[in-house]
Amino acid sequence: MAVLQPLLQQSWQELHKMTFTLLLPLLFLFSFLYVFKCIRNSEKPNLPPSPPKLPIIGNLHQLGSLPHRSLHALSKKYGPLMFLYFGHAPSLVVSSADMAREMMTTHDKVFSNRPKTIATNFLLYGCIDLAFSPYGEYWRKVRKVCVHDLLSIKRVQSLHYVREEEVAILMNKVRDSCLKGVSINLSELLIETSNNIVTRVIFGKKFEEQDGMGKPSELPRKVMVLIASFFWGDFFPSLGWIDILTGLLPSLKSTGREIDAYLDEVLEEHYKTAKCDDDEHLNKKDFVDIFLQLQKDGMLGFELHHENLKAILLNMLIGGGDSTSTTLEWVMAELIKNPSIMKRAQEEVRRVVGNKSKIDVDDISQMNYMKCIIKESLRLHTPLPLSAPRETSESVKFGGYDIPAKTRVFVNVWAIQRDPKLWDRPEEFIPERFIDNPNDLKGQNFEFVPFGGGRKGCPGMAFAVAAVEYLLANLLCWFDWRLPTINAQGEELDMTEVNALTAFRKNRLHIVPILHSS
């Protein structure tokens, strides 16, 4: 026993040594894993509140047919910043003026990109336009040309003759209907007139019927609807084939071919005209003429290829015409619903115009109540209820939360402009709220941003407002308006909206014009 004791002691020491040798690395490994887990947990981003999501589809099922309304309802529970997943796409929804202000001022540069979608990539030639091109040197140069050379206040004023001529044609059509005593499809007439104004300013010609094109004046709205449509491939890249089965992708390609053919035709005409240097033509330059002249003089600052020009011009075409006609549809619908407001507006317009046979551009500056009506309509029926999506260029600390890079960002303008904390009786149409009100349309007061704000604010605001004001003044001055007899028997005017990139009326506005006799 005495002999075994040293051996047992030696064996125990060796076992203890071996165990220690094995345990030490294991202990180190577990310690490392524990520290790594703690660090990983501490680095987990502090995301904004989020509604519960489903596997694979995320929060897509919560969008509904009118996303601005569905997201507004969710924001009441989850707050002004919500983080959602639309399929594989992380998304942030901003629903308060304070958060919109912080986003478009303090962090505007980070939030100035746009996500590239199937529709924008196809229709806008790889997103080389103004609205959807990445924020950077090319975007800055294109915007500079658009703001200073095409859409400045001076340029907008110089183009009044186009608005005047097209509105005169519209007024004659309405007068002809007055003689027959029948209702008119005012929506269709407004779309046609708005698009004719825009196409004449951009291309120097109106939309014309072409073989296989149907009604070309409907093309801008078709493009708007497609840009806002749900493509499976945008949210589930492996399921893009579903867009073929639904017919959406074929429709996208068909519309793209139509608009591309139209743009090719008008640009080819301009290339020929530019070579001719016709003096009479140069007296009234359209936007294409200006682009080509700037390119010739080396004043653009960027390479203007054929497809770049088509993409930029298509931006203006879909943005200018559709937003104008949509705004006017809603204004006239609200005035029909509120006859006392219409009467007050007509009295103002007719007092300013007096016995003149046409409305001068200077007359508009005196129609203050009419301008309040337009603002109130833009508040209740903003053309872009959900702003065109942005995308974060890098991770950012925003509103106390961590927002990852490549997050899609939507500003719920509709929710902000109906916020009861900001607006008294927000669901009612009350133009008087804008009398002596500092809120303007320039995107500096973030409780009222119908044209957006920050770097990505709409550069065509002055152009759109000028068209809306002149059209509305003429509609109010020369005619009285009522619903058709079938709707006048106490039936409520349908105000249902349809979601596209702009929120337009679901049903066309059919109303009866009555020639005003002073």
How many domains, in total, are found in the chain? Answer: 1
pLDDT band at 208 (very low <50, low <70, confident <90, very high): low
% helix / strand / coil in the chain, to the nearest 5? 55, 10, 35
Bridge partner list, 91? 84, 408
- How far apart CA 400 and CA 49 sit, in angstroms, is 12
Domain span at 80:
63-515
Inter-residue contact 493 to 487 (CB < 8 Å): yes
Q: Is the pLDDT of residue 508 over 50?
A: yes
Bridge partner list, 408? 91, 391
Residue at 469 is within a domain: yes
Phi and psi (nearest 5°) for 87? 65, -125
Inter-residue contact 347 to 496 (CB < 8 Å): no
pLDDT at 26: 40
How many C-beta neighbours within 10 Å does residue 178 have? Answer: 17
Closest CA to 453 of 100, 161, 209, 33: 100
pLDDT at 455: 86
Closest CA to 370 of 222, 281, 472, 439: 472
Bridge partner list, 104? none
Residue at 168 is within a domain: yes
Length of the chain as a residue count: 518
SS3 assignment, position 55: coil
Residue at 11 is within a domain: no
- How far apart CA 60 and CA 74 sit, in angstroms, is 13
- How far apart CA 66 and CA 500 sit, in angstroms, is 9
Tell me: the pLDDT tens digits for 267-277?
998 888 765 55
Q: Are strands 408-411 and 89-94 parallel, antiparallel or unpaired?
A: parallel
Inter-residue contact 437 to 447 (CB < 8 Å): no
Lowest mean pLDDT segment, chosen from 144-158, 357-371, 466-480: 144-158
Give the residue-averaged pLDDT of 24-33. Answer: 44
- How far apart CA 468 and CA 470 sit, in angstroms, is 6
Tell me: the pLDDT tens digits for 31-85?
444 434 444 444 688 999 999 999 999 999 998 888 999 999 999 999 999 999 9
Bridge partner list, 398? 401
Tell me: the pLDDT tens digits for 442-482?
667 899 999 888 888 888 888 999 999 999 999 999 999 99
Residue at 211 is within a domain: yes
Residue at 201 is within a domain: yes
Give the residue-averaged pLDDT of 172-179. Answer: 91
Residue at 5 is within a domain: no
Residue 458 labeled ligand binder: yes
67: CB partners within 8 A, 6+ apart = 386, 499
Q: Which residue has the tokens 């502090």?
A: 46
- Find the farthest-apart pair of alpha carbons in the chain and give their distance in angstroms, rounded: 133
pLDDT at 36: 42
Lowest mean pLDDT segment, chosen from 256-270, 411-425, 504-518: 504-518
**Span between the terminal Cα atoms of the chain, in Å:** 132
DSSP letter (8 states) at residue 418: T
Closest CA to 474 of 320, 331, 360: 360
Closest CA to 114 of 315, 408, 316: 408
Inter-residue contact 199 to 320 (CB < 8 Å): no
HSE-CB of 39 using CA atoms within 13 angstroms: 6
pLDDT at 21: 52
The CATH number for 242's domain is 1.10.630.10
- How far apart CA 451 and CA 447 sit, in angstroms, is 12
Portion of the chain with pLDDT greater than 90, in percent: 56
Residue at 466 is within a domain: yes
Q: Which residue has the tokens 């298509």?
A: 314
Encoding tokens for residue 318? 């879909």
Residue at 461 is within a domain: yes
